[in-house]
Chains A and B, each alone.
Chain A
């Protein structure tokens, strides 16, 4: 039946490739699908958090900070529980990073607070004297791009079925609703902040980048 294959090395090679590829797929894909499912209780990012994630990307935090805690004692002692792939299910893209000039940030929300981030982003040396991190004062005046963040959320909801607007979940709604929700969230954060300009901006309805970034960092748990 397969004699003709033995006489045709090219098609034989194609056949071998197909068989091995098929075996590989049924071995790899189910595990892959299983591991990338969101962990229980994981919620998608709110619009404000997404705006903060954009700031994180824009200011290239990833160049010095990772977001992936490996299962080694030395790392879990310092950064907390090791990371699971299901925790990144709503990260598009994930920001694992591969450089640790600064510490890992995957669970920063567990052990740093809004006021600490405020001090630290304004002047890192004021809280960590040996820090080599630059100050990010422009985040206190630049206004966060909520429109892009909202568009991103709507896109992942439509394209990837990210569960927004589910009962007890994160509400997305219309642009006006989302903007109002982001402003509420921002006001809760500025209540813990000291910078008067930031407080004034939020009270006037503009959200500085620092507030969005803190919302994002506090959510990393």
Chain B
């Protein structure tokens, strides 16, 4: 062991000691593996620094020139004939092969595209979303429906769904008298129910008033005789005969789906269609939530 080696080892020891001193004085949490790895890295760098320095200092001290000189010299400056280092040669060949792959198939096929990344992201998310919520229970759907409602519906219907004092439909009741009268007067052919269009003026005058009061009152009490005209499509109980016509007694999934899909122009104003902004699961969730708003 020569003097240089001893000096080197001493220097390495000082570096390592300094590292440990800093770690101690900074109270670094050693239970965190990332800190341990960092310290090991610091010690390794100290060791490598000393090792590499010793190698080259030794080489400068002891190496003599050798090997065969090339025939050419440039104003007295000569050049040794050295073999091409194999690492360089392999790197060069590898680069050439990679470049060919990149030009022929890598770049045109695998070029980065922001839209492509977006499409993949959305597809992956939707697949996962469908898988997770395929058989979602009512509580989950209700929770999901509430957040959808707050983002998509609340700006018009209000955060509590009360329609902001008549600015939009009030979900705490099924329909107001004015809304029923409006539908009776104008008919309706916008929601795409299998039963088809509801013609205007199915009832007039006092009959219409009676029906409106009965429907707006939550279908309680004695049914007015004129309601027979409504019952032929909406059912005697007003529930729309299992999705054949609109449910005028309660909110159900068919009603919410049809309104979200087609939008609606009614007594209070126009609602745009929202179907391309929600997935089927989300519409179902929204329906589950809206059902809970009616007392």
Contact = CB atoms under 8 A, between A and B. Distances in A.
Contacts of B270: 113-115, 192
B274 interface: yes
B56 interface: no
B155 A115 contact: no
Interface residues of B, number: 23
B272 A111 contact: yes
B164 A127 contact: yes
Residue of A76, A113, A114 contacting most chain B CB atoms (<10 Å): A113
A119 B272 contact: no
Contact of B155 (A71, A72, A73, A116): A116
Contacts of B152: 111
Contacts of A77: 277
B124 to A, nearest CB: 10
Given A114-B270, A116-B156, A128-B155, A82 B118 contact: yes
B31 interface: no
B277 A115 contact: no
Chain B interface mostly: helix
A52 B154 CA distance: 26
A111 B155 CA distance: 10
Nearest to B118: A71
Contact of A111 (B114, B159, B274): B274
30 contacts: A71-B115, A73-B118, A73-B121, A73-B122, A73-B125, A76-B118, A76-B122, A77-B277, A80-B276, A80-B277, A82-B115, A82-B118, A110-B272, A111-B152, A112-B155, A112-B156, A113-B156, A113-B270, A115-B270, A116-B156, A119-B164, A119-B167, A126-B164, A127-B156, A127-B164, A128-B154, A128-B155, A129-B159, A192-B269, A192-B270
Interface of A: 71-73, 76-78, 80, 82, 110-116, 119, 126-129, 192
